[in-house]
Structure 1
Amino acid sequence: MQFSENWLRSIVDPKMSSDELSHLLTMSGLEVEEVEAVAPPFSNVVVAHVVEVAKHPNADRLNVCQVDAGTGTLLNIVCGAPNVRAGMKAICAKAGALLPPGADGKPFEIKVGKLRGVESQGMMCSSKELGISEESNGLMELPEDAPVGQNIRDYLGLNDLKFTIKLTPNKADCLSVLGVAREVSALTGSPLSLAPTRAVPVSSDEILPVKVSAPDLCGRFAGRVIRGLNARAAIPEWMKRRLERSGQRSVSALVDISNYVMLEVGRPSHVFDLAKIHGSLDVRWGKKGESLKLLNGNT
């Protein structure tokens, strides 16, 4: 079971350090196997607005950008990222910033200097350069409402830890963030802060027939037909971060919501595309020779 400490503390926030919380969980029977920082140390890195982009006079693959990093004056920054453009919000390491260590094991300091004859007063960053992602297709683009000048560690909630706990078979009640939060609340007396919920009335009498051919696998199957959904809706960044810090990649709006509910409250569910179901559902054992294509493309 892996989860974000910040997510846990949004439900229950005992007055103790991360180390003390880890020790408390282990001593209560929820053995903490690993505590890992979400991001490596770095400083002086902020949300920035790219105001203007022009081609570098001496290099075909470089651009010269005018960047608002909340300093009161525009910074002249040379950038080689293929996706840089005027108007975007991105991440900027200002002069004096210390970025995560490179191959030599030493922090990389950003200094004012010249790149192919043009002064650069900082560095536009990808998520990979900050050590918060293994993949990078250029600059990490931020939402339009990201506040210019804000410390990127605060904006992205990077001062966070990932807890991995080892559960025994009798502690299935802790296979969710809420379950762990209840345990912490019981141990410390700290109150639970639960997000408000409301019942959604059924507005359709449409039913999809379901047959359970393997009652040894599935004792009960419940579902609801829901129409009028936008399966391509944008996923909030805070939800993506919580999923990623729980070991789940963001797939799509409906899959992410299903995974999020499972991780937060411990209620597994699955979303089916009604248009691809012919007649009914049959819950059964697989047959010899059958294959199943998963969401990640594997079979």
Structure 2
Amino acid sequence: MQFPESWLREFCNPRLSTQQLAETLTMAGLEVEELRPVAPPFTKIVVGEIKTAVQHSDADRLRVCQVDVGQGALLNIVCGAPNARVGIKVPCALVGAELPPGEDGKPFVIKVGKLRGVESQGMLCSARELKLSDDHGGLLELAASATVGQDIRQQLDLDDTLFTLKLTPNLAHCLSVYGVARELSALTGAPLKTPAFPPVAASHQDKLRVKISAPNLCGRFSGRIVRNVNTQAVTPQWMVDRLARCGQRSVTALVDISNYVMFEFSRPTHIFDLDKIHGGLDVRWGRPGEQLKLLNGSTVTVDDHVGVIADDVQVESLAGIMGGDATAVSDATRNVYVEAAFWWPKAIAGRSRRYNFSTEAGHRFERGVDPGQTVEHLERITQLILDICGGEAGPIDDTRVDLPQPAP
């Protein structure tokens, strides 16, 4: 379980240093396996905006850029990045800046220099040059709202630490940032910021027919239809960054939203293309010989020991593990069905390993996910969808058949 310290402190912020916080968690059984800075040390790198970019007179692959770094006068910087263009904001290393060490292990100090006879008064940087990622395909493009001249460490919140926890199987409730924060609050007495899940008003009354035929597989299945979503919407940078710091790459806005709520509250969810579902959904055990092409491209054959979500025609999803290709969301998708379910851990345990893969969803469900907040977390994911992708949400349909009973 990996997450940034800053996200944890949004929920619970005890008066402890990073090291003290790690020791507190470790001594309570949540072993902190690694602490790692989000970014290595570097100095004098600020947000710059390219005001002009003209072809170098003596080099096909170089552009001479005029860059605003908030100092009044524009800097003349020669750049070879293919995406260097007018209007973008990028990290700009000023003269005297010290970049992270290269392959030779020595820091790289920026000086005034000349490239093919043109003076360059700094350097425009890629993510790789700052050791933020391995991406070196071009300059690191910042949000349009980035403040020109601001230190890049502040702009990107780089003075942060990544926590990696080594959790035993009985600590499933800590497979989320909020779960760890709840433990931290109990350990330190620091207040816990309890999230609110205001209901999303229904814009229509459409529902999808759902039946749970196997109560020993699924005890609760909550879902809702959201119409007219923009599946090509761009994921906000703050979400992309948080997912990256949890070890998850950005895919599409809808996938990112689903993953975000999983890391936030340990709630795996799935989003179907509504218009690809035939009839309704039946949550049941598989039938020997049934096949399903998964989102990872593999085709699996199920039997009566593997849970599935099927429609009136075919199997659509491997229950609690991975969705199917047939109902996958694409750029052409307009209407979606979002589900959040409680799967019995014994019904999920070991199933993905039969097919030689594992998923974040299966890892959580086979250890146990809170059955009591499917609706609340569905409200959270719905609001994020509306905020980022737009759309109109319908009412939540909450089917309960068999839930764990609290111990007396």
**TM-score, with structure 1 as normaliser:** 0.93
2:45 corresponds to which letter in structure 1?
V
What corresponds to 2:293 in structure 1? Answer: 292
Partner residue of 2:273?
A: 273
2:254 matches 1:254: yes
Which structure has the highest strand share of the two?
2
> Following the alignment from structure 1 to structure 2, what is the Cα–Cα distance between the partners of residues 298 and 142?
36
Of 92-101 and 221-230, the range deviating more from structure 2: 221-230
Supply the distance in 1 between the matched residues of 2:290 and 2:57 (Cα, whole angstroms). 62
**2:3 equivalent in structure 1:** 3
Shift of 1:218: 2.2
1:159 corresponding residue in structure 2: 159
Show the counterpart of 2:75.
Answer: 75
Aligned mates of 1:120, 1:184 — CA distance in 2: 50
Q: Match of 1:119, SS?
A: strand
Distance between the aligned counterparts of 1:255 and 1:213, measured in 2?
28
Tell me the secondary structure at the aligned position of residue 92 of structure 1. strand
Contact 1:95/1:122, CA 8 A, preserved across alignment: yes
| CA distances 1:122-176 after superposition (whole Å, capped 9, x unpaired) | 0001111111111232111112221000011111111111111122222221111
Q: Percent identity?
A: 59
Paired with 1:151 and 1:44, the residues of 2 have a C-alpha distance of 7
Aligned to 1:241: 241
- Segment of structure 1 superposing worse, 248-257 or 174-183: 248-257
- Counterpart amino acid of residue 292 in structure 1: K
- Within a 5 Å distance, the mapping from 1:116-155 to structure 2 comes to 116-155=116-155
Paired residue total: 298
- Secondary structure of the 2:44 match is strand
Aligned partners of 1:117, 1:212: CA distance in 2, in Å? Answer: 73
The correspondence of residues 94-109 of structure 1 with structure 2, limited to 5 A, is 94-109=94-109
The 5 Å alignment of 1:83-232 reads: 83-232=83-232
Letter in 2 for 1:293: L
Query: Structure 1 CA distance, aligned partners of 2:191 and 2:45?
Result: 35
1:179 Cα deviation after fit: 0.8
SS of equivalent residue, structure 1 residue 8: helix
Unmatched segments (≥5 aa) in structure 2:
300-408
- How far residue 285 of structure 1 moved from its aligned partner, in angstroms, is 3.4
Structure 1 unaligned regions, length at least 5: none
Q: State the 1:289 CA deviation.
A: 7.1
Q: In 2, Cα distance between the equivalents of 1:215 and 1:271?
A: 22
Greater shift, 101-110 or 280-289, is seen at 280-289
Residues 231 and 93 of structure 1, relative CA distance in 2, 3 Å threshold: same
> Matched residues in 2 for 1:150 and 1:286: separation?
60
Q: Aligned-pair RMSD on alpha carbons?
A: 1.8
Return the structure number with greater relative CO, CA threshold 8 A, min gap 6: 1
Q: Distance in 2 between matches of 1:20 and 1:250?
A: 32
In structure 2, C-alpha distance between the alignment counterparts of 1:195 and 1:213, rounded to whole Å: 33
Partners in 2 of 1:265 and 1:136 — Cα distance? Answer: 33
Q: Is the 8 A contact 1:77 1:124 kept in 2?
A: yes
Q: Please tell me the residue identity of whatever aligns with 1:49.
A: E
Letter in 2 for 1:78: V
Q: Is the 8 A contact 1:49 1:89 kept in 2?
A: yes
